[in-house]
């Protein structure tokens, strides 16, 4: 069953306009969601808002939004006041520049959406995707939707285009905010670390070989519960012995990651042993 569009928009650059539809990149049924329940009655519980001043419950229609500009001091806004300063939801995806894709740090990546051509936009859509592939560039754009202005990146994938929502710079922490000691790397340690990387290196990323093991265990536990079984926690794994010496840890890692010989290969005599047997 093909996915349903969750929105629409128009890509614009120069005098070109491309009507598009937005599709979620996530499968809605892939996650496991729990409801909060009353442990005694096994019925669902609901959250209620109440006033900290009076202790009385407050209904949603009686709420307004407030911004705390100082400790316990707020300025309040009605929905109409917030609407006056919000971005008009034109759903326009206005391209401002094309940049080399490899120069966009993935730290800026947020949500992603597939874009598909809407009626009349197939040819221009295909042209934009192929042009970005040929130049190795992606399009930086401004996207106005849901009363907000988003910074997005349009990048080509396979035969289509992904709209990658980006964080604004002020939404990200910088690495220099993290306390990182200045350590001089020893050449021998570096050589061993490089050997370890090369030993388990792959020529491409193949995500199909990975699965969410916790989600699989949860699915199994849910099925057991549905069938009336009790879930008993297994024994926890004993912690592995810590290797304090970095060189020893690297050597142990190299030894552990070496491909093991199969039993059949281990039984076969080497070429040297065959020669000795003939003599």
Residues facing residue 31 across a β-bridge: none
Q: How confident is the model at residue 244 (pLDDT cuts 50, 70, 90)?
A: low
pLDDT of residue 261: 47
Residue 268 clears pLDDT 60, i.e. is over it: no
Identify the residue with better confidence: 130 or 230: 130
CA distance 124 to 130: 10
Three-class SS state of 147: coil
Question: Which has more confidence, 11 or 277?
Answer: 11
What's the pLDDT tens digit per position in 208-234? 888 888 888 888 888 888 888 877 766
Q: Do the Cβ atoms of 242 and 252 come closer than 8 Å?
A: no
Q: How confident is the model at residue 265, as a pLDDT?
A: 47
What is the reported pLDDT for 234?
63
Whole-number average pLDDT of the chain: 85
**Whether residue 255 has pLDDT greater than 90:** no
Q: What are phi and psi of 126, to 5 degrees?
A: -65, -40
HSE of 9, CA atoms in CB hemisphere, 13 A: 27
For 78-100, write each residue's pLDDT tens digit: 888 887 877 666 789 999 999 99
List the domain boundaries for the chain: 7-27+86-171
Of 116 and 241, the structure prediction assigns the larger pLDDT to 116
pLDDT tens digits for 21-59? Answer: 999 998 766 678 888 898 999 899 988 899 988 999 999
The tokens for 8 are 């629409």
Q: How is residue 241 written in tokens?
A: 């012995």
Q: Quick one: pLDDT at residue 89?
A: 67
Question: For residue 120, what are the contacts with CB-CB under 8 A and spacing of at least 6?
Answer: 19
Burial 16-51 (b: 16+ CB within 10 A, else e): eebbbbbbeeeeeeeeeeeeeeeeeeeeeeeeeeee
Give Cβ neighbours of residue 224 (< 8 Å, ≥ 6 apart): 230, 231
Q: What is the CATH number of domain 7-27+86-171?
A: 2.40.290.10
């Amino acid at each position: 069953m093909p996915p349903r569009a969750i929105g629409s928009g128009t890509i614009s650059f120069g005098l070109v306009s491309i009507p598009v539809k937005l599709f979620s990149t996530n499968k809605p049924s892939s996650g496991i969601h729990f409801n909060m329940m009353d442990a005694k009655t096994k019925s669902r519980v609901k959250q209620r808002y109440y006033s900290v001043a009076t202790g009385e419950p407050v209904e949603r229609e009686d709420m307004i939004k407030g911004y705390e500009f100082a400790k316990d001091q707020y300025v309040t806004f009605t929905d109409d006041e917030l609407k006056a300063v919000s971005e008009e939801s034109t759903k326009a995806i206005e391209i401002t520049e094309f940049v080399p894709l490899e120069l966009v740090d993935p730290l800026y990546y947020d949500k992603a959406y597939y874009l598909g051509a809407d009626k009349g936009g197939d040819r221009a859509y295909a042209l934009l995707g192929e042009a970005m592939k040929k130049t190795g560039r992606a399009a930086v754009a401004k996207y106005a939707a849901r009363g907000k202005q988003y910074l997005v990146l349009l990048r080509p994938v396979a035969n289509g285009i992904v709209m990658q929502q980006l964080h604004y710079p002020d939404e990200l922490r910088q690495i220099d905010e993290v306390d990182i000691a200045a350590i001089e790397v020893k050449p021998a340690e570096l050589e061993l670390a490089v050997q370890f990387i090369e030993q388990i290196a792959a020529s491409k990323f193949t995500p199909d070989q990975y699965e969410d093991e916790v989600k699989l265990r949860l699915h199994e536990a849910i099925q057991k519960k549905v069938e009336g079984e009790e879930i008993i926690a297994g024994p926890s794994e004993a912690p592995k012995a810590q290797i304090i010496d970095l060189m020893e840890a690297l050597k142990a890692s190299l030894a552990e990651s070496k491909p093991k010989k199969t039993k059949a290969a281990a039984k076969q005599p080497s070429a040297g042993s065959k020669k000795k047997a003939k003599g």
